[in-house]
Amino acid sequence: MNGVLIDQWIVYALLFASIYFEVFLLTSFIERRMGGLKIRKRISGALPTVAIVVPSFNEGKTIGGTISSLLALQYPKNKLEIIVVDDGSTDDTLCVAKRFESDSRVRVFYKENGGKHTAMNCALERTSAELIGCLDADSEVAPEALRAIVQVFENKQVAAATPGIHVKEPRTLLQMMQNVEYRLSIFNRFAFAAKGSTFITPGPFSLFRTGIVRELGAWRHAHSTEDMEMALRIQAAGFLIANVPEAIVHTTTPSTLPTLFRQRVRWTYGWLRNAIDYRYMFGNRAYGNLGLIILPSAILSIFAGLYFFARVVFFLVLSAVNTIDRVYDTGVYPQASFDPFYLTTSAVWLLIFMSVALVFALLCAGTMIGTGGRLPPRATPLFLVLYSFLAPLWYGAAVVRAAFKTGVRWR
């Protein structure tokens, strides 16, 4: 009986925490929208010099499109350089990249494989640009994205800026669900930036002040998630990370469950290990909303997902065992039936429905921010029903790996 009571208290606590966090983000969104998002237009002569790094490893199939999208940026040619760093590829990545060297903006370097952070640092050593950015070799950027994102650096406290990331041509059901997830991520980054609490600077087209990156010690291995670690280091140093959803980037996402699983295990593992490294920020008032709300909530969401998943599996197995015993004792097979009159109206289910409704509202907001539309993608119901059962798979694997420090690979 005590076990049942404890379980109920845990469920209520997790649901209330989830709803509180969702409402917090929604109010942050409303506050920022009402406050206005107009950015003063810069004159061409005031635009900063920018170096965009394309770290690549066996990206021969996609790197051509990536470089082409960078060359199509609406930005003064004398203020843009594109640095491609081949991190020891074994395919034709280097050959494809070198075809673009006829353009004076493009420089290509080859190095032995050492991971993405070493590729970024290789480029950092070879540029004098005011801003340095990254574009993963499986992503493509919109022509106006760079002009949009550099404007936030007028604020001297801004050390980095993140774009609006969209899924490129979703085809499979898994990619369609990720398309919904990325709309939620667009909202989250928008709301986090409004509260000065961004803790990830994703690979597709995040920009940084070059001087601050050097001042902070360049990129680190950071458990194969250098984008998370750099964001935490920037925040720990007292700088801001802005978000510009108008800077649109399209990125290729995994099309199969095994590739998605490997990617998300790496992301979650890296987040957990970096959270341990920066544990002094958790609950620390000195870091404002980031330390008091955002970071603890991010960790709690992982363990909440695992708890609810384990709980559902436990009760499904228990129900199946009871049904088998009943059939064995009586010889009567249960008949499937549904009567909406008997739908539970318990407080737990009301909280669940409320949480799902809030997630749907956040998805609508993310769609409005990212595309100007009012309704999220058609795969939203599929995402809401199935993704909560997929995520605990990589959460569990990442937690085990983080506990035993097994490490993960960039590719």
pLDDT digit string, tens, across residues 77-135: 999 999 999 999 999 999 999 999 999 999 999 999 999 999 999 999 999 999 999 99
**The length of the chain, given as a count of residues:** 411
Domain presence at residue 133: yes
Percent of the chain with pLDDT over 70: 93
- How sure is the predictor about 349, in pLDDT bands with cuts at 50, 70 and 90? confident
Q: Is 294 helix (H, G, I), strand (E, B) or coil?
A: helix
| Model pLDDT, residue 229 | 97
User: If residue 241 lies in a helix (H) or strand (E), which one and from where to where?
Assistant: strand 240-251
- Among 12-16, 20-24, 369-373, 404-408, the range scoring the smallest mean pLDDT is 404-408
CATH of the domain at 55: 3.90.550.10
For the chain, first and last CA: distance in Å? 48
Domain presence at residue 155: yes
Domain presence at residue 343: no
The arithmetic mean of pLDDT across residues 237-250, rounded, is 96
The DSSP line for 382-406 is: HHHHHHHHHHHHHHHHHHHHHHHT-
Cβ 146 vs Cβ 247: under 8 Å:
yes
User: If residue 85 lies in a helix (H) or strand (E), which one and from where to where?
Assistant: strand 80-87
- How sure is the predictor about 1, in pLDDT bands with cuts at 50, 70 and 90? low
- Among 31-40, 177-186, 356-365, the range scoring the smallest mean pLDDT is 31-40
Domain presence at residue 222: yes
Say if pTM beats, i.e. exceeds, 0.85.
Answer: yes
| Model pLDDT, residue 162 | 97
Domain presence at residue 299: no
At 187, list the tokens. 């909202």
User: If residue 165 lies in a helix (H) or strand (E), which one and from where to where?
Assistant: strand 158-167
The arithmetic mean of pLDDT across residues 231-255, rounded, is 96
Domain presence at residue 332: no
Structural domain for 193, as ranges: 49-259
Closest CA to 167 of 150, 149, 154, 180: 180
CA atoms within 13 A on the CB side of 238: 3
The arithmetic mean of pLDDT across residues 260-273, rounded, is 96
At 358, list the tokens. 């809030």
- How sure is the predictor about 38, in pLDDT bands with cuts at 50, 70 and 90? very low
| Model pLDDT, residue 336 | 59
Domain presence at residue 203: yes
Closest CA to 160 of 247, 73, 80: 247
For residue 337, pLDDT over 60 is answered with: no
Domain presence at residue 92: yes
Query: How many domains is the chain partitioned into structurally?
Result: 1
At 20, list the tokens. 């509180």
pLDDT digit string, tens, across residues 164-188: 999 999 999 999 999 999 999 999 9
**How much is the mean pLDDT over the chain?**
91
